[in-house]
Amino acid sequence: MQRPSRVLAALVFIALGWSAAVSAQTTAAPAAAAVAPAPAAATAGIQSQNIFQVKPDASADPNYASQTNGERAKVQPGNNAPMWRQVGAGVTGVSSLPKSEAPEAGNLIQPFVQYPGSRLTNAGEAWRQVRNNWIIPYGGSLFLIVVLAIAIFYFTKGSIKNHGADTGRKIERFTPFERAAHWSNAIAFSILAISGLVMAFGKFFLLPVMGSTLFGWLTYVLKTAHNFAGPLFAVSLVVVFFTFLRDNWPQKGDLQWLAKGGGLISGDEPASNRFNAGEKLIFWGGVFFLGIIVVASGLVLDKLLPGLIYERGTMQVAHMVHAVATVLMMCMFLGHIYLGTIGMQGAYKAMRTGYVDETWAKDHHEYWYDDVKAGKIPAQRSEPIPPGQTVQV
279 binds ligand HEM (CB under 6 A): yes
Binds ligand HEM (CB under 6 A): choice among 132, 167, 224, 341 = 341
Element (H, E) at 122: strand 121-122
Binds ligand HEM (CB under 6 A): choice among 244, 257, 355, 369 = 244
195 binds ligand HEM (CB under 6 A): no
Smallest distance from ligand HEM to CB 380, Å: 16
Q: Which residue number, 123 or 188, has a Cβ lying nearer to ligand HEM? A: 188
253: left (phi over 0), alpha (psi -120 to 50) or beta: left
Q: What's the start-to-end Cα distance of the chain, in Å?
A: 149
* β-bridge pairing 170-172 and 121-122: unpaired
Closest listed residue to residue 178, CA positions, set 240, 234, 97: 240
> Near ligand HEM by CB under 6 A, which window of 70-78, 262-270, 348-356, 380-388?
348-356
Smallest distance from ligand HEM to CB 200, Å: 18
170 binds ligand HEM (CB under 6 A): no
> Near ligand HEM by CB under 6 A, which window of 32-40, 53-61, 251-259, 332-340?
332-340
Cα separations in angstroms, 381 against 21, 241, 274, 347: 124, 19, 14, 19
Query: DSSP 3-state assignment of 61?
Result: coil
Q: Which residue number, 126 or 287, has a Cβ lying nearer to ligand HEM? A: 287
Distance CA 105, CA 97 (A): 7
Cβ contact 193:225 at 8 Å: no
Binds ligand HEM (CB under 6 A): choice among 67, 110, 248, 326 = 248
Q: Which residue is nearest to ligand HEM (CB)?
A: 340
Binds ligand HEM (CB under 6 A): choice among 131, 182, 226, 322 = 182
Distance CA 236, CA 327 (A): 20
Closest listed residue to residue 350, CA positions, set 103, 173, 221: 173
Closest listed residue to residue 197, CA positions, set 214, 212, 216, 219: 219
Binds ligand HEM (CB under 6 A): choice among 337, 343, 357, 369 = 337
Binds ligand HEM (CB under 6 A): choice among 131, 170, 173, 322 = 173
Cβ contact 103:115 at 8 Å: no
347 binds ligand HEM (CB under 6 A): yes
* Site for ligand HEM, residues 349 to 378, rule: CB under 6 A: 350-351
Binds ligand HEM (CB under 6 A): choice among 282, 320, 327, 331 = 282
Q: Which residues of this chain interact with ligand HEM, rule CB under 6 A?
A: 173, 182, 185-186, 189-190, 237, 240, 244, 248, 275, 279, 282-283, 287, 333, 336-337, 340-341, 347-348, 350-351
